[in-house]
Amino acid sequence: MVLNPSMSYAQAASLSLSHAMQRDATIVAMGEDLGRGGVFGQYKGLLEQFGADRVIDTPISEAGIAGAAVGMALAGLRPVVEMRIIDFALCAMDEIVNQAAKARYMFGGQGRVPVIFRMPIGLWSGSAAQHSQSLESWFTHIPGLTVLTPSTPQNNYSLFQSALSQNDPILYLEHKELWNINEAVNTRQSIEIGTAHRLHSGSDLTLVSWSSAIHRCAEACDRVSSQGVEVDLIDLRSLWPWDKEMVFTSAAKTGKLLVVHDAVQVSGFGSEIAASSAEATGCHIQRLGAPRIPVGYAPVLEEQTRVGVEKIVETILHVVERAYDT
């Protein structure tokens, strides 16, 4: 076991990419602000380690970056593409959705596109409506794309390692408010894409979440435990494919499912989890996400779009009480 006693979410990502680039000379990193280590320090030290031929600082042109990456992948390279934040990736939707996601299918498997599109998601305090969105459900809808959402430094090391070994396009969504969280990271620990992780065991309610929201859910579970409510808390980690077996088994056991995410609740990926679980198990379902309003710049407006611990606690207790009343 190679254990790093304390490493941040950003450091874990940088180390994971460094290890992969040492093993595989076809891996290149490209995108905005890589020359200074990335906006959040997630590429720190890589330019000095691998040089400008493999850590490529690009112009601010998301469509151009994504298009170039698709071409490079079809020619045999394995690009890791930095979109800076997911909001900016909307400028590259054609290249991601119609080119990267479709090439393998349209050419009968003769062309593979092993690209990782890194798109930081979520609220970034004081950054307002165009820099704070969680758009994961846009991409889970697209056949041909894998969507990953690491929630911890360990996840960010191990899931990145798994992503770097795939031969198809991956949306790798790191939350902007997680970059500075720290924990010990075992560089020998692997995480299989499509497997969830149980953080807390319980029989009163199944709670499913991912990314930054899972930390608030964990705090909420601790609070309701003191009131005698024991929650089965599941961190999906991978949104597509997602671990239906773990979720369905838990929902069938508890009979109640709550899905919590930072994205707008309307048409969020929580709707897919809730509907699929209800169809498979007949469980009671409840969703909790952000209201369908733009993120405000003023702190009082920004706060209205946050899914906080108090709201999660309130919703857990509501779901449990409602189920017992029926």
Is the Cα dihedral 71, 76, 77, 80 positive or negative? positive
Least confident interval from 63-67, 74-78, 131-135, 174-178: 131-135
Alpha helices by DSSP H, listed for 58-180, are 62-74, 93, 103-106, 136-140, 153-164
Domains 3-186 and 197-325 share a fold: yes
Is the Cα dihedral 194, 216, 202, 263 positive or negative? negative
Per-residue model confidence (pLDDT) at position 297: 85
Is residue 121 pLDDT above 80, yes or no?
A: yes
Strand partners of residue 28? 79
Residue 258 — very low, low, confident or very high, per pLDDT cuts 50/70/90? very high
Task: Name the region of 115 (left: φ>0; alpha: ψ -120 to 50; beta: rest).
Answer: beta
- Model confidence, pTM: 0.94
154-197 pLDDT tens trace: 999 999 999 999 999 999 999 999 999 999 999 999 999 999 99
* Residue whose tokens read 């024991």: 230
The phi and psi torsions of 301 (rounded to 5 degrees) equal -80, -40
Cα 60 from chain centroid? Answer: 23
Q: How many CB atoms lie within 10 A of CB 91?
A: 16
Is residue 325 pLDDT above 70, yes or no?
A: no
Per-residue model confidence (pLDDT) at position 321: 87
Class of CATH domain 3-186: alpha beta
Burial class of residue 81 (count of CB atoms within 10 Å of its CB; 0-12, 13-18, 19+): buried
What mean pLDDT is reported for the chain?
A: 94
Q: Where are the domains of the chain?
A: 3-186, 197-325
Any idea of the CA torsion for 157, 163, 165, 166, to the nearest 10 degrees?
170
Take residue 199 and report the two structure tokens written for it.
Answer: 């953080």
Q: Which CATH number is associated with domain 197-325? A: 3.40.50.920
Any idea of the CA torsion for 177, 262, 135, 61, to the nearest 10 degrees?
-20
Task: State the Cα–Cα distance between residues 205 and 316, nearest whole angstrom.
Answer: 8
* Active-site annotation, residues: 131
